[in-house]
Structure 1
């Protein structure tokens, strides 16, 4: 699976980012480079899950406020700082669902679906995309996140585990189980079992 440069960093980039984090830990006014680098990614992550732009802006602001106020608690674990931000964002999105401020949404581009269908060696038709969207819409939130992070964002299992607070191996096993479950439902829809 090709690596997505938006979500992956070289060792050099990780070290540079760690310097930014350490500077922000000493002085919260030095948080700006982290905010600038990750605001758009975090906003998109939130917006894709709730499909309410104004609420997504509010939740994103809350994520960065919490991150800045708690930066001294951040511990480097060999993955991008964004993993920590995504954990905060996940928590804030869930809180928004619990508070009934937002409804869960699955927002996936058709080229992403085609890639998944292609990987399963299936014909790429509009009906296939509709079936796959329906299957994804029926998944639990954590299952959707695993599929999105691995197949659409091309994240490593290590980073997925960090974001979802799972071990790397557990992230891999859960993702494979979900994909197998999806394939089974998908093929059953077409009588291909």
Structure 2
């Protein structure tokens, strides 16, 4: 999948914006949004915790906060999911700060292939293992950029919204991280 492509059409975002506005008027109308995004948000959190019960708890917190704050949500030209991912990301970080545990990195073959291709490296098992070790050494914010781009296949515009930065900053940081990883693999 080409991560630079928009994940949601403009028409779909406009329809979703109507659902959001309805939920802002009447919170019970939040259910279609919850039903649409519960599973992707659950997977997003699970990839970082590897604990189903913890994931369920954090996911509940994400949607509770989203419902409580839906009135302050404003359309930013990206899917509503970006806002939910930002809340989820904050909940995950807060959990790991509070428990002083290390987060989990869940890696999929497709994401590895995308990283290797982006770094112009040949994809092989030895290099994958080395890359896993190097990813594990990244700062949380750097790792999150790589995860969102290559394992979640998010476009830079959404990554920027999730991480509260500009789109160009998300691009620059991602490619700088890839350059550092490439040097460490040599």
**Residues 25-67 of structure 1: CA deviation (Å, up to 9, x unaligned):** 0111100111111111111111111111100110000000110
| Cα separation, 2, equivalents of 1:165 and 1:105 | 22
For 1:131 and 1:19, the matched residues in 2 are separated by 47
- What secondary structure, in the 3-state scheme, does the structure 2 residue paired with 1:136 have? helix
Q: CA deviation at 1:73?
A: 0.7
Q: What's 2:141 paired with?
A: 142
Q: TM-score, normalised by structure 2?
A: 0.93
Superposition map of 1:67-78 within 5 A: 67-78=66-77
1:123–1:170 distance in 2 versus 1, CA, 3 Å: closer
Q: RMSD of aligned C-alpha atoms?
A: 1.8
> Once the 2 structures are TM-superposed, how far is the Cα of residue 99 of structure 1 from its aligned partner?
1.5
Deviation of 1:153 (Å)? 2.5
Change over 3 Å in CA distance of 1:168–1:111 after alignment to 2? closer
| Aligned-partner Cα distance in 2 for 1:165–1:65 | 21
Mapped to 1, the partners of 2:121 and 2:169 lie a distance apart of 28
List gaps (5 residues or longer) in structure 2. Answer: none
Give the drift of 1:155: 1.8
**SS at the partner of 1:76?**
coil
Q: Please say which of residues 51-60 and 122-131 is displaced more in the overlay.
A: 122-131
Partner-residue secondary structure (3-state), 1:179: helix
Equivalent position of 2:2 in the other structure:
2
**8 Å CA contact 2:119, 2:178 repeated in 1:** no
1:120 CA drift (Å): 2.9
1:124 aligns with 2:123: yes
Give me the TM-score of the superposition, normalised by structure 1. Answer: 0.90
**Which residue is equivalent to 1:25?**
24
Q: CA deviation at 1:176?
A: 1.1
Q: Which has the higher contact order (CA 8 A, sep 6+)?
A: 2
